[in-house]
Amino acid sequence: MAATTPSAIDSVSSAAKPTLLSIRAVAKTFGRNVVLRNISLEIAEGEFLTILGESGSGKTTLLRIIAGFESATSGEVWMGAERLDRKPPYRRRVNTVFQHYALFPHLSVEENVGYGLRVAKRPAAEIAERVAQALEKVRMTAYAKSKPSKISGGQQQRVALARALVNRPQMLLLDEPLSALDANLRRQMQVELKSLQREVGIAFVFVTHDQEEAMVMSDRIALLRSGELEQVATPRDIYSFPATAYAAQFIGHTNLLKGEIRAGMAECNGLRWKTSLPDGPALFSLRPEHIRTGDSGASSSIRVRGRVVHQAFHGATELIRVDCGGLVLTVRTANRIEPDKEIALEFTATDAVPVRESPERT
């Protein structure tokens, strides 16, 4: 029974925590080019929210609107009771870690980190102490006197973090901060960033195009497509109950089953199962791991037979593609199944999650 509708899932956010930032119907156009349309999003205190999207989806523009480097064409941004979108960037209690860090090349590491405190005219003793603490937190104390050009990418990343966090912002914005790092360092930094966020306890808004990164780090993911929010949910929910075909395909692998619902029965490519959805055309997402090979004999299973046409090794599991007479299903299996083999497949009706179509947008 597929009773859980996507809209019900969407509202399951970190409702327990008070809202910190509220983006209300924000739109942005550059000339005739619509970059963002009608974005509404609430970010809770202490939350790790990831804005996930392909390049050109508008995710960086949204971040820049929060930071104040772009102004929204319409809509509002509020932080608590204060209207943020009318304020210049330097009056917002928000700090940014830039994609290529944007460290000041003419200043040393410690001068970079102390920059915000110096322009805020904090006493010298306080600056020295807070800078030292911040550098210690990111393990860069030994490089305090170095120039940014003399340290590695990963180290620059840490300095950029320290430079932002030393100002004790209410929210940290991160614009694809890991994209310049190699895969190993990247995974390591994902863990470090996540634990740093727990430690400092402020909200992180993290922009990335990497769905795996988003899954690993986030409390919630806001999936952006062509300037519109496709779905906002926890990684678990967005994976298990994708709202749209695009969400289902962008995050993990999936099978999209296109069919028709008539009188409580769903029918897709000759497969039939009971559903409570209203009549009409329907689209279902079925994850590869929800399709089992063999025949368990369970009465609730939907069964189909097919021929293995492709097999790919993915470490712990394998992904095979099975041609079931016009319908090609991707199936995750624990053991190796040779191509050309004829096999039986089955799945449970509730694992076929109804999703909305994702029409092409320009």
Q: Which residues bind another protein (CB under 8 A)?
A: 67-69, 88-90, 94-96, 98-100, 102-106, 115-116, 119-120, 163-164, 167
Q: How far is the CB of 91 from another protein (least distance, A)?
A: 8
Residue with smaller CB distance to another protein, 103 or 343:
103
d(CA 270, CA 9) in angstroms, rounded, equals 29
Residues 6+ apart with CB under 8 A from 322: 306, 307, 308, 309, 328, 329, 330, 331, 343, 345
Residues 6+ apart with CB under 8 A from 191: none
Residue with smaller CB distance to another protein, 39 or 159:
159
Q: How far is the CB of 123 from another protein (least distance, A)?
A: 16
Beta-bridged to residue 100, according to DSSP, are none
d(CA 66, CA 85) in angstroms, rounded, equals 7
Q: How far is the CB of 184 from another protein (least distance, A)?
A: 26
Residue with smaller CB distance to another protein, 90 or 313:
90
Q: Give the 3-state secondary structure of residue 157.
A: helix
Beta strands in 116-244 (DSSP E): 171-175, 203-208, 220-225, 228-233
Residue with smaller CB distance to another protein, 63 or 251:
63
Beta-bridged to residue 36, according to DSSP, are 28
Q: How far is the CB of 17 from another protein (least distance, A)?
A: 25
Q: How far is the CB of 178 from another protein (least distance, A)?
A: 17
Residue with smaller CB distance to another protein, 43 or 261:
43
Residue with smaller CB distance to another protein, 78 or 98:
98
Q: How far is the CB of 56 from another protein (least distance, A)?
A: 19
Q: Give the 3-state secondary structure of residue 236.
A: helix
d(CA 22, CA 18) in angstroms, rounded, equals 11
